[in-house]
């Protein structure tokens, strides 16, 4: 790796030879900019040019880093200048914020700032000169240091001039002109120390000789002292003349050297008094000169002529030759000829003085001087063209933007925008341009990024965001700069991030955080990556990190525990919610932490929540379930509640269905779950009404236990039967937990089955004006369903299948015995039916008459075949339900979907299946859902699995189940209907719709006494199509049911409807 320093502050346009040792003629070179600018990496490109510089460079093996504008980077003194001037700059900004060029105090403070700048420049120039003197071994470094020192000295001279003319607060005062002239003369004297050196030499030589006037510089020194207005020094020097006490001319000259001095007082009288005094003094000089008092002494005469303000004397070659610059000559002439003139004289007389000065220096032309002090810049200042002066100075200084940036800023605060020589947006635009350039020039070294950013704070137009600007073409705004600063360490990244935040650049802050997070992620430091990703508020990145955690886990339990052992997950708090995966990890860790802390119940709660929320990726379900095994197998303590265990069972069932885990492991978990559930139920003295969907879950548990443990299964089935038995009495409790604006309630299917068959329970909506969005019924049956009514099933009947309805049918005490005793006899009408073992219990109970339980049931229900609905001699439609396993798809689900509307406005009907659900407004204002299934025998054996709905109300529990009356003795009472039409009309209508419908089915309806309430008219809508879109994640899919969706059509109310 080579590093080339191509620094050239004075001549940036000059060519630089790059020392690439392996480059031969004709080879290709590539170059890449650094992220911060002012650095270009040059490399030898490979033969096959790659689009990626790094690749190409690697092929050549050499990189050449070219930097420029590096004077502030490599020289400690100039670094100090940059850092220290930054503080003065900040002070100026504070002053400028208060007021721009207004109060005298502010102006005085700004003047102090200007002097601080100058002192800093002077100090650094001296230090650079000392360093140059010390660097004798390195001539190049010494030359550079000396060059920089001279540059700073020249800058200081110009700054001083600007300070006198523009920064000093007396600029506005007319009385200040003589004072300013004196200061200008002093300024010229300070930067022209020649006479002092001559005088020192002269005095040293005078010690050897008694006649100093014989020294070649005696009279030159005298003239220069007079030109600089130092008449007192001139008189003192003249007094050293060997004949000073003896020659009258010398005495007269010394007397004339008592030139009046102006002292600044804030009134116009002082100027007038000084003017009079000066005129009188100069008149005395002229009188003595014209009297020829000094004619015998030509050198003395020239001195007096200068005092008299004689123009010819100033044009004398020996006088012009003494001046280092034309403005020194100009100021001397003004001082001695027109000391009280306005500052306009500076610009007016400057050309003449310049011409006079250059008359004797034919080789010196514009621009041939030392760059800054060749007169062009000073003349612009004398002319009042400050803006032009800054532009010229920037051109002279090349890449050194320090001077013009700080000076422009100071002038901006002193003068505001009212400065001559400005164009294109005023002085503020020039200032901002210089500040942008200066901050950009500091980016060659990463160490200065803080300063660069700080300067950009005060570039209000282009400093923060990208703006199209003719001035800021090369500038980098903060939002771009901060994201390019390389965050090599965490600490530096913190600083960059804080800098972004402090400036309200939240996008940049997020970008920085994202960059650091990705770097950490690449390095495998997941904790750091997570920290920064959270700061970036980047959900995708957080998810990616969580994936990394999980990837390391490998999918097994131990790996997952290892991943969650990272304590970085401990304190994420709400940040964990940025990603589901991360939330899962945190919860998983919480689970382990609680297990470790012995908080087993809390741990169980976390595990159940994790599994029920489906937040956890499926491939980790088994791991989590296995982690729960120690808790499940605790014999002395029921850690999980039955409800939590049902959640676990659901997850396990889903896993089994997805077939994504080894069956052996699932079986182990399943056995533990069943066992734990039994213990939990015993501990809780389980009652179905304690949990909303407990009955269904019980059935689920039965199903689980079928393959796990027959004893458990029997126990569970017994529980199921108990629950089913008392469902009607306490079913209202189940529903109260399902209130909500959009409640989805899954009722225990067994109880609905019972209702379906008995028609004994009314399901009513409250309030009556409830609007629903959707009502869904899931009906399942293992029995064949004849989809095409014109073609009834022709396969063998299943005589053992019970008839629908009948008050004596549900005898739960027998159900579990039958099923448990004959699990092998479970009919499997089609593949996958084994998943529904638990649901088939009810339908199979007639088949096990040989068992003792079956005998008992038989005793309670003397003869099923006495039921007319099971009579094979009945019409085939009436006996449709007795056909068993004839259809290839024996299970189905019916979903009835309603449009938005009042629930009592509709009657849902599945035309194909002849299922009717009627919504009836009851006399007390509630709405009754009635299921009219009596005539549909093939459906009589179907189980109503669930009812669910979405409502758009936020009222009380919308649906309550109320046991309106005891189960009617006659199964014909299927529903209660209150309407204006007679039951005959309805019957006729049904008959017209389905002429084959037996009369028995029509008798199922009975008019309910309205008790004063007006009658209701039912309007029916009929579905037009079936939809078979089984969803795998649906509960119906789980139980193997069909999904049939009915789209209800609103029917228009007939005229005269009084509702």
Partner 1 sequence: MASKVAAKFVSYRVSQVALASHYTDKEPVVAAGSWDEGPSNRIQLLGYGPKLDAEGSPRLLAVHRCHGDVMCLRFDPIYQNLFVGLGTGELVAMATTAEEEPGSNNGSGERQRPRLLRQLGQGWRPSTDSFGSGAVSALAIRDGWHALAGWESGRLVCCSLAVEVPDGGCSDAATLRPASGCGRESVGLDSCCVTGADFIDQNAACTVNSMGQLKLWDLRTGLGQYDKVLTVAGDPKAMHCARRHPAQPHLVATGASGGCLCLWDLRQEKFPVSIVELDDGHVTQVEFHPVQGDLLFVSTMAGQLYAIRLSDSGGGGSAALTDNPHLTAVLPASQKLPVNSFCLGEDFLCAGTEDELLYAAAGVCL
Nearer to partner 1, 301 or 409 (CB): 409
| 426, 892, 906 from 1030: Cα distances, Å | 73, 10, 26
Of 459 and 947, CB closest to partner 1: 459
Which position among 29, 59, 86, 347 is part of the footprint of partner 1 (CB under 8 A)? Answer: 86
Instruction: Compare residues 573 and 1055 and give the one whose CB is closer to partner 1.
Output: 573
- Residue of 568, 680, 915, 1036 that binds partner 1 (CB under 8 A): 568
Contacts of 885 by beta carbon, 8 Å cutoff, 6+ apart: 782, 783, 784, 795, 798, 827, 829
- SS3 of residue 445 by DSSP: coil
Pick from 901, 906, 959: nearest CA to 743: 959
The whole-angstrom separation of Cα 722 and Cα 726 is: 6
Nearer to partner 1, 592 or 874 (CB): 592
Closest separation in Å from C-beta 1022 to partner 1: 57
Contacts of partner 1 in 87-106 (CB under 8 A):
87, 90-91
Residue number, 526 or 699, with CB nearest to partner 1: 526
Report yes or no: 513 and 497 within 8 Å, Cβ to Cβ. Answer: yes
Question: For residue 703, which of 334, 290, 1038 has the smallest C-alpha distance?
Answer: 1038
* Shortest distance, position 18 Cβ to partner 1, whole Å: 20
Strands 1044-1047 and 762-765: unpaired
Judged by CB under 8 A, does residue 744 bind partner 1? no
Per the document, the length of the chain is 1059
Of 324 and 457, which has the nearer Cβ to partner 1? Answer: 457
571 binds partner 1 (CB under 8 A): yes
Nearer to partner 1, 400 or 693 (CB): 400
Which residues have a Cβ under 8 Å from the Cβ of 128 and sit 6 or more positions away? Answer: 75, 77, 78, 145, 146, 148, 149, 152
Question: In a 10 Å sphere around its CB, with 0-12 CB exposed, 13-18 middle and 19+ buried, how is residue 226 labelled?
Answer: buried
Is residue 34 within the footprint of partner 1 (CB under 8 A)?
A: no
Instruction: Provide the minimum distance between the beta carbon of 751 and partner 1 in the complex, in angstroms, as a whole number.
Output: 47
Provide the minimum distance between the beta carbon of 520 and partner 1 in the complex, in angstroms, as a whole number.
9
Q: Does position 399 bind partner 1 by CB under 8 A? A: no
Residues 439-458 close enough to bind partner 1 by CB under 8 A: 445-447, 450-451, 454
- CB nearer to partner 1: pick between 307 and 452: 452
Q: How far is the CB of 652 from partner 1 (least distance, A)?
A: 33
Sign of CA dihedral 200, 203, 209, 212: positive
548 near partner 1 (CB under 8 A): no
Yes or no: say if 836 and 1039 are a contact pair by the CB < 8 Å rule. Answer: yes
DSSP state letter for 166: I
Q: Does 567 bind partner 1 (CB under 8 A)?
A: yes
Binding-residue total with partner 1 (CB under 8 A): 46
Cis status of the peptide bond prior to 767, with omega within 30 of 0: yes
Contact between 527 and partner 1 by CB under 8 A: the answer reads yes
CB of 547 vs partner 1, minimal distance in Å: 17
Q: Is 596 in the site for partner 1 (CB under 8 A)?
A: no
Tell me which DSSP letter residue 131 carries: H
Residues linked to residue 43 through DSSP beta bridges, in sequence order: 30, 63
Phi and psi (nearest 5°) for 4?
A: -110, 135
- In angstroms, what is the minimal distance from the CB of 34 to partner 1? 13
Residue 720 has a CB neighbour count (10 Å cut-off) of: 28
Q: Is 575 in the site for partner 1 (CB under 8 A)?
A: yes
- 949 forms bridges with which residues in the sheet? 775
CA distances from 952 to 346, 769, 772 (A): 88, 11, 6
Segment interacting with partner 1, rule: CB under 8 A, options 77-85, 194-202, 418-426, 947-955: 77-85
Q: What is the CA radius of gyration of the chain?
A: 52
Query: In the bound complex, what is the minimum distance in angstroms from residue 571's beta carbon to partner 1?
Result: 5
CA distances from residue 140 to 12, 144, 997 in whole angstroms, order as listed: 18, 6, 114
Q: Show contacts of 986-990: CB within 8 Å, 24+ apart.
A: 986/1018, 990/935
- Interacting span for partner 1 (CB under 8 A) from 81-89, 99-107, 391-399, 629-637: 81-89
531 contributes a contact to partner 1 by CB under 8 A: yes
- Cβ closer to partner 1: 103 or 489? 489
Residues in contact with 310: Cβ distance below 8 Å, sequence separation at least 6, in sequence order: 289
Report the nearest approach of partner 1 to the CB of residue 384 (Å). 34
- Binding part of the chain for partner 1, among 200-208, 393-401, 519-527, 862-870 by CB under 8 A, reads 519-527
Given 14, 136, 172, 574, the residue binding partner 1 (CB under 8 A): 574
- For residues 568 and 546, the answer to whether their CB atoms sit within 8 Å is no
| Smallest separation (angstroms) from partner 1 to the CB of 232 | 34
116 touches partner 1 (CB under 8 A): no
Cβ atoms of 817 and 714 closer than 8 Å = yes
The CA-CA-CA angle for residues 925, 927, 930, to 5°, reads 145
Helix 580-596 / helix 600-613 crossing angle, nearest 10 deg: 160
Q: Which of residues 227-246 bind partner 1 (CB under 8 A)?
A: none
126 binds partner 1 (CB under 8 A): no
Among 62, 80, 251, 286, binds partner 1 (CB under 8 A): 80
Cβ closest to partner 1, residue 495 vs residue 707: 495
CB of 159 to partner 1, least distance (A): 20
Question: Of 313-321, 561-569, 777-785, 994-1002, which segment contacts partner 1 by CB under 8 A?
Answer: 561-569
User: CA dihedral defined by 955, 956, 961, 966, rounded to 10 degrees?
Assistant: -120
Question: Could you say whether residue 523 binds partner 1 (CB under 8 A)?
Answer: yes
**Is residue 550 near partner 1 by the rule CB under 8 A?**
no
Q: Quick one: which of 46, 254, 345, 566 contacts partner 1 (CB under 8 A)?
A: 566
Shortest distance in whole angstroms from residue 432 CB to partner 1? 20
For residue 502, state whether it binds partner 1 (rule: CB under 8 A): yes
Least distance from partner 1 to the Cβ atom of residue 94, Å: 9
Q: Which residues contact 390 (CB under 8 A, 6 or more apart)?
A: 404, 407, 408, 411, 430, 434
Contact 749, 738 (CB under 8 A): no
Q: Provide the binding-site residues for partner 1, judged by CB under 8 A.
A: 74, 76-77, 79-80, 83-84, 86-87, 90-91, 445-447, 450-451, 454, 488-492, 494-495, 498, 501-502, 522-528, 530-531, 534, 566-568, 570-575
């Amino acid at each position: 790796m080579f590093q080339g320093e191509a620094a050239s502050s004075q001549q940036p346009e000059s060519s630089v030879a790059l020392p690439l040792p392996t480059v031969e003629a004709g080879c290709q070179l590539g170059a890449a900019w650094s992220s911060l600018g002012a650095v270009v990496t040059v490399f030898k490109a490979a033969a096959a040019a790659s689009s990626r510089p790094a690749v190409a460079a690697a092929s050549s093996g050499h990189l050449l880093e070219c930097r420029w504008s590096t004077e502030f980077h490599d020289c400690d003194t100039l670094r100090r200048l940059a850092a220290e001037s930054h503080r003065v700059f900040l002070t100026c900004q504070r002053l400028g914020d208060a007021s721009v060029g207004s109060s005298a105090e502010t102006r005085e403070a700004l003047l102090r700032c200007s002097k601080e700048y100058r002192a800093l420049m002077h100090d650094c120039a001296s230090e650079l000169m000392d360093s140059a003197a010390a660097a004798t071994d390195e001539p190049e470094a010494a030359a550079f240091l000396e060059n920089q020192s001279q540059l700073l000295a020249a800058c200081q001279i110009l700054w001083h001039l600007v300070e006198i003319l523009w920064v000093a607060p007396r600029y506005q005062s007319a009385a200040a002109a003589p004072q300013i002239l004196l200061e200008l003369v002093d300024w010229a004297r300070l930067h022209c120390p020649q006479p002092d050196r001559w005088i020192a030499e002269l005095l040293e030589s005078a010690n050897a000789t008694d006649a100093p006037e014989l020294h070649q510089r005696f009279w030159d020194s005298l003239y220069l002292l007079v030109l600089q207005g130092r008449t007192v020094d001139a008189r003192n020097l003249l007094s050293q003349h060997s004949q000073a006490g003896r020659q009258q001319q010398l005495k007269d000259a010394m007397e004339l050297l008592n030139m009046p001095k102006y002292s600044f007082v804030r009134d116009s009288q002082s100027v007038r008094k000084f003017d009079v005094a000066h005129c009188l003094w100069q008149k005395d000089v002229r009188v003595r000169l014209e009297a020829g008092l000094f004619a015998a002494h030509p050198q003395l005469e020239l001195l007096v002529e200068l005092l008299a303000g004689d123009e010819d004397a100033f044009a004398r070659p020996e006088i012009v030759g003494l001046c280092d610059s034309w403005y020194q000559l100009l100021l001397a002439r003004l001082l001695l000829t027109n000391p009280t003139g306005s500052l306009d004289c500076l610009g007016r007389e400057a050309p003449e003085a310049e011409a006079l000065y250059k008359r004797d220096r034919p080789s010196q032309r514009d621009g041939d001087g030392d760059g800054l002090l060749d007169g062009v810049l000073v003349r612009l200042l004398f002319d009042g063209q400050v803006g032009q002066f800054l532009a010229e100075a920037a051109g002279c200084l090349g890449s050194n933007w320090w001077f013009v940036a700080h000076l422009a800023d100071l002038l901006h605060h002193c003068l505001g925008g009212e400065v001559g020589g400005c164009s294109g947006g005023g002085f503020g635009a020039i200032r901002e341009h210089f500040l942008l350039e200066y901050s950009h020039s500091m980016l060659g070294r990463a160490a200065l990024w803080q300063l660069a950013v700080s300067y950009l704070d005060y570039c209000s137009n282009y400093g923060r965001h990208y703006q199209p600007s003719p001035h800021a073409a090369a500038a980098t705004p903060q939002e771009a700069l901060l994201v390019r600063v390389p965050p090599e360490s965490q600490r530096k990244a913190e600083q960059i991030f804080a800098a972004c935040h402090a400036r309200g650049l939240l996008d940049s802050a997020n970008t920085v955080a994202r960059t650091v997070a990705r770097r950490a992620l690449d390095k495998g430091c997941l904790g750091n990556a997570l920290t920064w990703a959270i700061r970036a508020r980047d959900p995708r990145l957080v998810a990616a990190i969580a994936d990394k955690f999980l990837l390391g886990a490998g999918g097994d339990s131990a790996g997952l525990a290892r991943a969650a052992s990272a304590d970085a997950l401990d304190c994420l708090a709400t940040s964990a919610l940025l990603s589901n995966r991360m939330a899962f990890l945190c919860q998983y860790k919480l689970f382990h932490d609680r297990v470790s802390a012995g908080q087993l119940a809390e741990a169980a709660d976390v595990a159940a929540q994790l599994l029920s929320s489906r937040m956890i990726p499926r491939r980790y379900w088994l791991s989590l379930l296995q982690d729960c095994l120690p808790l499940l197998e605790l014999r002395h303590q029921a850690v999980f509640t039955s409800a939590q265990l049902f959640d676990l069972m659901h997850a396990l069932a889903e896993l089994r269905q997805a077939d994504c885990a080894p069956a052996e492991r699932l079986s182990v978990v399943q056995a533990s779950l069943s066992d734990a559930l039994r213990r939990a139920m015993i501990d809780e003295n389980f009652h179905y009404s304690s949990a909303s969907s407990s009955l269904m879950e019980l059935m689920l548990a039965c199903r689980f236990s079928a393959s796990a443990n027959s004893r458990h299964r029997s126990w569970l089935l017994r529980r199921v039967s108990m629950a089913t038995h008392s469902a009607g009495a306490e079913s209202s409790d189940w529903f109260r937990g399902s209130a909500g604006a959009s409640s989805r309630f899954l009722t225990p299917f067994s109880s609905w089955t019972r209702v379906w068959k008995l028609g004994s329970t009314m399901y009513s909506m409250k309030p009556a004006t409830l609007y629903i969005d959707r009502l869904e019924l899931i009906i399942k049956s293992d029995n064949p369903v004849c989809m095409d009514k014109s073609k009834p099933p022709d396969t063998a009947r299943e005589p053992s299948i019970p008839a629908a309805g009948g008050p004596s049918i549900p005898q739960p005490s027998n159900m579990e015995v039958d099923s448990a005793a004959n699990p092998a006899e479970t009919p499997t009408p089609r593949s996958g039916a084994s998943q529904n073992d638990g649901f088939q219990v009810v339908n199979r109970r007639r088949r096990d008459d040989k068992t003792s339980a079956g005998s008992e049931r038989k005793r309670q229900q003397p003869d099923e075949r006495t039921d007319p609905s099971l009579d094979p001699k009945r019409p085939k439609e009436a006996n449709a339900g007795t056909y068993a396993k004839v259809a290839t798809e024996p299970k189905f689900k019916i979903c009835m979907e309603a449009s938005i509307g009042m629930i009592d406005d509709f009657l849902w009907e599945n035309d194909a299946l002849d299922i009717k659900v009627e919504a009836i407004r009851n006399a007390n204002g509630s709405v009754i859902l009635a299921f009219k299934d009596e005539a549909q025998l093939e459906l009589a054996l179907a189980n109503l699995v669930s009812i669910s709905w979405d409502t758009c109300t936020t009222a009380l529990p919308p649906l309550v189940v109320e046991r309106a009356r005891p189960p009617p003795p006659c199964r014909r009472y299927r529903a209660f209907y209150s309407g204006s039409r007679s039951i005959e009309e309805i019957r006729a209508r049904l008959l017209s719709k389905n002429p084959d419908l037996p009369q028995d089915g029509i008798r199922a309806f009975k008019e309910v006494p309205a008790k004063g309430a007006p009658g209701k008219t039912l309007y029916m809508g009929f579905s037009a199509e079936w939809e078979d879109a089984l969803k795998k994640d649906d509960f119906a899919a789980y139980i193997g049911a069909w999904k049939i969706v009915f789209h209800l059509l609103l029917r228009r109310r007939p005229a005269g409807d009084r509702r």
